[in-house]
C-alpha cells in the first residue's frame, strides 16, 4: 500500500562544545587518536555523487563540516540552533505527510541516549532506545565538525563506507530509506476462517489479525495506535502478527502503524478516507460519435485535465479490441493531433513514458477492479528485467515490452462514461522499434496457426494474426520468419528440438512467459492475445498483452475460476500435458524438453517476483489510486458490469495464495 507520510526529525545533541574542544589538525582527542586531514571525500546521496574537500578523521570516525552537511548538494539536514551546549537539527522528508516524530539525543557519560517521541496529538510514545557510543563533535577554527555516519544514521540513513583502508579517496554512500516511496501491504484477516477484510469493512466488537508487509518483508510485531481512546485492544501473537479488537465502529476513524525498517521508524495511517480525496485525471471528448466503429475513426476535440498534464487539442477515436467490441462499454484507440485538420501529431509524455500520440482508453469491462491488466503487465516487466540473459533493450522498456497505464475518468459530449485506464498502445513504441530488421506481430485467435499446428498465411482473411511493425521488410518476409519457427516446432522434438530451437526462439524468454501465464492464470493468453517480437528478423520472443482475464477472472457471464485450473499435469507416460486452452504445441515441446530449466527458473521467480506479497503490493498500489466513490460512479453509469457484487480484490488475493501452493507442488514433480 503506497502511502506518503511526512516525517519530521528533530535531532537534538546536548553537547559540551566549548573552548576545551577547539582542536587543531595534529592534536589528539579521546583515546589518543590523532586528528588528520583527508584531502577529499566522495559522497553519494541517493546515488548522486558529491565531492567535498578537507574532511577530518580520528581513525575511527570521519568528520564533515556541519554547514556542508546541511546545505549545498548534500542538504541532509537543517540547522535549527547551535551553541556551546547543544546542536539541534531536523530533517524534512519530501514524500511524507500527516505524521512526524522527534529524535532527541542527550550526551551523558560518553554515551548517547535517544528518545523517540510521536506527536502529542497521537498520544503515543516509543519510549527510550539507546544508540551505540559515539565521539564528540570537533570545533576547529570556529568550524563545527560532526561524525558523518552518526549524524546521517540518526536522521534515518543507511551509511556504507568504501575504499576506507586503501590509497583511494574514501567513498561514503548514504541512502535515506524514509525518503523512498513506501509500499505497504497491511492485511486484516481472520485466522480461523482465513478471510481477508478491507479496513472499511471492519466491524466493532470483533477481533482481527493484522500482518504488515513492507518491501516483501514481513514486519514482525507491528505496533499500532489510534487517535480514539478505547478504540482497539492490542495483543501480539508469535512476534509476527498483531491481533486487534475493535470496541467502537471504525467509521471516520483511523489506525496508525509503527514499525522499524533498518532501524528507521516508519509510520502509516489507514482510514476509510485514505483514497477518497484522490482525484483522477479526466479526459473530455466532444464531437460527432455517430459513425464510430473499429474500422472508422471519428474526429473530435479533446481536453485532458490532470495533476501533471493539461492540454486542449484534437483527437481521432475508434473502437479497439476483438470480442470486447460486443460489450456495452467500449475500448477506444485515441490519437492526438495539434491542429483541426488532423495533420500534425501531438505527442505527449504521459506518466513519464516516451513521447507518443497514440494511446488506448481501456474500458476493462470484464474486470470490475480495472487493475488486472495493468498489474499483470507490471508483473511481466519485473519478470523480464530479472532474467539473467535478457536482451538489454528489454530492460530499458517500461514493462519489458508489455503495456502500461493508469486510471482516468472519461467524459464524452458532457456525458460521464466512467472509469477507464489510459494505456500505451499495442504498437512498435512498446519495444522502441525503429530499425529495418525488427518485427512485431500479434495473434488474436485460437486457430491452428496460432497454436503452432500449421503455418501462418497473412493473406488468409480468416487468420487471427496481424503485422504491427515490419521495418523495411514485406509481410511475406515476416511470414517466412515466423513460419520457420512454427515449422521447426512441428517437425522436431526431444534432442533435435533442444539443439535447434535457439536458432528461431529466445528460449529463456519463452520459459519465463510459460511460467508467468501459469502463475497468474492467464486463461486468455497462451496463444491468443500474444505479442511476438524479433530484434533481428530471425529469433522471436513472446510478450504479454491484454491481461484482464487473469487471477481467476473469466468471461463476463461466468463466475470466477477455481485456483487450480490451467496448470500442467503429468500423465501415466511421464509426459507433461500443458492444459492450456486448445493445447499450443510450442508449450508442450518446452514443458517436456526443458523440465529442469523450468524448475530452476520457477524457484528463482517464486522467491523474488512471483510471490503473493509482491502481487498484493502491486494490486494495492493500483487500488489506492481509485476511491470507492469512483468505483460506485462507474457502476451507476454501467449497472450491468459483471461481478460487481463480488469482493474482487480479496478474490485476487485469495486466488493467488491458494494457486501458489498447488503450482509449487506441480513444478516440484518436474
Residues 45 and 6 grouped into a single domain: yes
Grid cell at residue 111: 554515551
What is the 3-state secondary structure of 532-590? EEECCCCCEEEEECCCCCCCCCCCCCCCCCCCCCCCCEECCCCCEECCCCCCCHHHHHH
Average pLDDT, the chain: 80
Q: Is 304 part of any domain? A: no
Q: Which domain covers residue 253, as residue numbers?
A: 182-271
Determine what percent of the chain falls in helix, strand and coil, rounding each to the nearest 5: 25, 35, 40
Q: Is 376 part of any domain? A: yes
Does pLDDT of 353 surpass 60? yes
* Per-residue pLDDT, 139: 75
Lowest mean pLDDT among 480-494, 499-513, 638-652: 638-652
Residues 53 and 163 grouped into a single domain: yes
* Per-residue pLDDT, 154: 65
510, HSE (Cβ side, Cα atoms, 13 Å) = 24
Do 299 and 314 form a contact (C-beta atoms < 8 A)? yes
Q: Is 283 part of any domain? A: no
* Per-residue pLDDT, 141: 74
- Average pLDDT, stretch 155-174? 66
pTM of the model: 0.69
DSSP structure string for 251-271: TT-EEEEEEEETTEEEEEEEE
Q: Is 90 part of any domain? A: yes
Do 441 and 482 form a contact (C-beta atoms < 8 A)? yes
Percent of the chain with pLDDT over 70: 70
Best CA proximity match to 668, nearest among 572, 600, 608, 610: 600
Q: Is 144 part of any domain? A: yes
- Average pLDDT, stretch 280-303? 97
* Per-residue pLDDT, 596: 97
Does pLDDT of 293 surpass 60? yes
- Average pLDDT, stretch 517-526? 96
Q: Could you tell me the pLDDT band of residue 250, with boundaries at 50, 70 and 90?
A: low
Q: Could you tell me the pLDDT band of residue 183, with boundaries at 50, 70 and 90?
A: low
| Residue 622 CB partners (closer than 8 Å, separation 6+) | 369, 370, 371, 374, 375, 407
Instruction: Tell me whether residue 364 is exposed, middle or buried, using C-beta atoms within 10 angstroms of its C-beta: 0 to 12, 13 to 18, 19 or more.
Output: buried
Lowest mean pLDDT among 104-113, 181-190, 588-597: 104-113
Does pLDDT of 7 surpass 50? no
Grid cell at residue 103: 529524535
Q: Which of 145, 179, 213 is the last residue of a domain?
A: 179
Does pLDDT of 397 surpass 70? yes
* Per-residue pLDDT, 54: 63
Does pLDDT of 195 surpass 70? yes
Does pLDDT of 93 surpass 60? no
Residues 387 and 417 grouped into a single domain: yes
Most confident listed range (2-11, 169-178, 182-191, 334-343): 334-343
Residues 266 and 372 grouped into a single domain: no
More confident residue, 397 or 64: 397
Q: Is 58 part of any domain? A: yes
* Per-residue pLDDT, 186: 72
More confident residue, 511 or 64: 511
Q: Could you tell me the pLDDT band of residue 497, with boundaries at 50, 70 and 90?
A: very high
Hey, is 31 helix, strand or coil? helix
Lowest mean pLDDT among 196-200, 245-249, 348-352, 576-580: 245-249
Q: Could you tell me the pLDDT band of residue 97, with boundaries at 50, 70 and 90?
A: very low
Does pLDDT of 237 surpass 60? no
DSSP code for 402: B
Q: Distances from the Cα of 265 to the Cαs of 45, 87, 111, 184, 394, in angstroms? A: 20, 22, 21, 14, 37
Place of cell 493531433: 337
Residues 71 and 126 grouped into a single domain: yes
Residues 166 and 259 grouped into a single domain: no
More confident residue, 95 or 604: 604
Lowest mean pLDDT among 159-163, 327-331, 433-437: 159-163
Percent of the chain with pLDDT over 90: 52
Residues 245 and 391 grouped into a single domain: no
* Per-residue pLDDT, 528: 92
CATH code where residue 228 lies: 2.60.40
Q: Could you tell me the pLDDT band of residue 639, with boundaries at 50, 70 and 90?
A: very high
Residues 99 and 186 grouped into a single domain: no
Q: What does residue 443 show for φ and ψ, rounded to 5 degrees?
A: -130, 140
- Average pLDDT, stretch 590-597? 98
More confident residue, 236 or 375: 375
Buried b (16+ CB within 10 A) or exposed e, 539-554: bbbbbbbbbbbbbbbb
* Per-residue pLDDT, 374: 98
Residues 566 and 504 grouped into a single domain: yes
How far is the C-alpha of 599 from the C-alpha of 651, rounded, in Å? 27
- Average pLDDT, stretch 342-360? 94
Does pLDDT of 587 surpass 50? yes
Does pLDDT of 552 surpass 70? yes
Q: Is 290 part of any domain? A: no
Counting the structural domains of the chain, the total is 3
Residues 103 and 232 grouped into a single domain: no
Q: Could you tell me the pLDDT band of residue 206, with boundaries at 50, 70 and 90?
A: confident
Q: Distances from the Cα of 280 to the Cαs of 306, 542, 625, 629, in angstroms? A: 7, 33, 8, 11
Q: Hey, how many other C-beta atoms are within 10 angstroms of the C-beta on 328?
A: 9
Q: Which of 179, 201, 226 is the last residue of a domain?
A: 179
Q: Which of 219, 253, 271 is the last residue of a domain?
A: 271
- Average pLDDT, stretch 555-561? 87
| Residue 243 CB partners (closer than 8 Å, separation 6+) | 207, 208, 209, 210, 234, 235, 236, 237
Place of cell 474500422: 295
Residues 113 and 59 grouped into a single domain: yes
Amino acid at each position: 500500500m503506497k502511502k506518503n507520510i511526512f516525517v519530521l526529525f528533530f535531532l537534538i545533541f546536548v553537547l559540551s562544545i566549548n573552548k576545551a574542544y577547539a582542536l587543531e589538525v595534529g592534536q589528539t582527542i579521546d583515546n589518543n587518536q590523532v586528528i588528520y586531514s583527508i584531502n577529499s571525500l566522495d559522497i553519494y546521496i541517493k546515488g548522486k555523487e558529491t565531492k567535498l574537500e578537507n574532511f577530518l578523521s580520528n581513525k575511527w570516525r570521519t568528520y564533515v563540516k556541519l554547514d556542508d552537511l546541511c546545505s549545498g548538494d548534500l542538504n541532509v539536514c537543517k540547522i535549527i540552533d547551535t551553541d556551546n551546549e547543544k546542536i539541534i537539527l531536523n530533517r524534512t522528508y519530501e514524500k511524507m505527510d500527516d505524521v512526524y516524530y522527534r529524535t532527541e539525543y542527550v550526551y551523558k557519560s560518553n554515551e548517547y541516549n535517544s528518545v523517540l517521541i510521536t506527536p502529542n496529538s497521537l498520544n503515543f510514545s516509543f519510549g527510550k532506545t539507546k544508540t551505540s557510543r559515539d565521539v564528540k563533535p570537533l570545533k576547529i577554527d570556529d568550524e563545527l565538525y560532526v561524525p558523518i555516519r552518526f549524524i546521517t544514521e540518526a536522521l534515518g540513513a543507511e551509511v556504507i563506507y568504501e575504499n576506507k583502508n586503501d590509497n583511494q579517496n574514501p567513498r561514503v554512500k548514504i541512502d535515506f530509506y524514509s525518503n523512498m516511496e513506501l509500499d505497504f501491504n497491511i492485511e486484516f484477516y481472520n485466522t480461523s476462517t482465513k478471510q481477508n477484510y478491507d479496513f472499511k469493512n471492519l466491524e466493532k466488537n470483533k477481533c482481527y489479525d493484522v500482518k504488515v508487509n513492507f518491501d516483501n518483508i514481513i514486519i514482525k510485531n507491528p505496533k499500532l495506535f489510534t487517535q480514539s481512546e478505547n478504540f482497539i485492544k492490542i495483543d501480539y501473537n508469535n512476534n509476527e502478527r498483531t491481533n486487534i479488537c475493535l470496541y467502537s465502529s471504525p467509521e471516520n476513524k483511523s489506525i496508525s502503524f509503527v514499525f522499524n525498517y533498518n532501524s528507521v521508524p516508519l509510520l502509516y495511517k489507514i482510514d476509510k478516507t485514505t483514497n477518497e480525496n484522490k482525484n483522477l485525471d479526466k479526459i473530455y471528448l466532444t464531437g460527432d460519435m455517430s459513425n464510430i466503429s473499429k474500422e472508422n475513426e471519428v474526429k473530435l476535440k479533446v481536453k485532458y485535465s490532470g495533476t501533471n498534464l493539461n492540454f486542449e487539442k484534437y483527437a481521432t477515436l475508434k473502437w479497439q479490441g476483438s470480442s470486447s467490441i460486443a460489450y456495452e462499454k467500449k475500448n477506444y484507440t485515441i490519437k492526438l493531433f495539434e491542429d483541426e485538420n488532423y495533420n500534425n501529431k501531438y505527442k505527449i509524455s504521459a506518466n513519464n513514458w516516451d513521447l507518443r500520440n497514440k494511446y488506448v482508453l481501456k474500458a476493462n469491462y470484464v474486470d470490475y477492479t480495472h487493475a488486472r491488466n495493468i498489474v499483470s503487465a507490471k508483473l511481466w516487466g519485473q519478470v523480464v528485467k530479472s532474467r539473467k540473459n535478457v536482451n538489454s533493450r528489454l530492460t530499458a522498456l517500461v514493462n519489458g515490452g508489455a503495456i502500461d497505464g493508469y486510471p482516468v475518468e472519461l467524459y464524452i459530449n458532457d456525458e460521464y462514461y466512467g472509469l477507464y485506464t489510459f494505456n500505451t498502445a499495442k504498437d512498435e513504441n512498446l519495444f522502441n522499434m525503429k530499425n529495418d530488421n525488427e518485427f512485431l506481430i500479434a495473434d488474436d485467435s485460437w486457430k491452428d496457426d496460432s497454436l503452432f499446428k500449421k503455418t501462418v498465411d497473412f493473406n488468409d482473411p480468416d487468420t487471427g494474426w496481424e503485422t504491427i511493425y515490419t521495418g523495411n521488410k514485406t509481410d511475406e518476409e515476416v511470414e517466412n520468419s515466423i513460419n520457420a519457427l512454427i515449422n521447426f516446432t512441428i517437425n522436431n522434438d526431444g534432442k533435435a528440438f533442444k539443439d535447434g530451437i535457439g536458432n528461431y526462439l529466445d528460449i529463456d524468454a519463452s520459459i519465463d512467459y510459460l511460467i508467468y501465464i501459469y502463475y497468474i492464470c492467464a486463461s486468455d493468453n497462451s496463444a491468443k492475445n500474444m505479442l511476438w517480437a524479433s530484434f533481428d528478423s530471425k529469433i522471436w520472443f513472446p510478450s504479454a498483452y491484454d491481461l484482464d482475464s487473469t487471477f481467476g477472472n473469466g468471461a463476463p457471464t461466468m463466475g470466477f475460476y477455481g485456483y487450480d485450473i490451467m496448470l500442467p499435469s503429468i500423465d501415466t507416460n511421464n509426459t507433461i500435458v500443458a492444459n492450456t486452452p486448445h493445447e499450443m504445441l510450442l508449450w508442450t515441446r518446452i514443458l517436456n524438453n526443458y523440465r529442469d530449466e523450468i524448475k530452476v527458473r520457477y524457484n528463482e521467480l517464486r522467491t523474488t517476483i512471483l510471490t503473493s506479497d509482491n502481487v498484493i503490493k502491486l494490486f494495492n498500489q493500483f487500488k489506492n489510486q481509485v476511491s470507492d466513490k469512483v468505483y460506485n460512479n462507474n457502476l451507476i453509469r454501467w449497472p450491468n458490469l459483471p461481478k460487481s457484487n463480488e469482493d474482487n480484490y480479496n478474490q485476487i488475493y485469495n486466488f493467488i495464495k491458494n494457486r501458489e501452493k498447488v503450482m509449487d507442488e506441480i513444478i516440484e514433480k518436474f
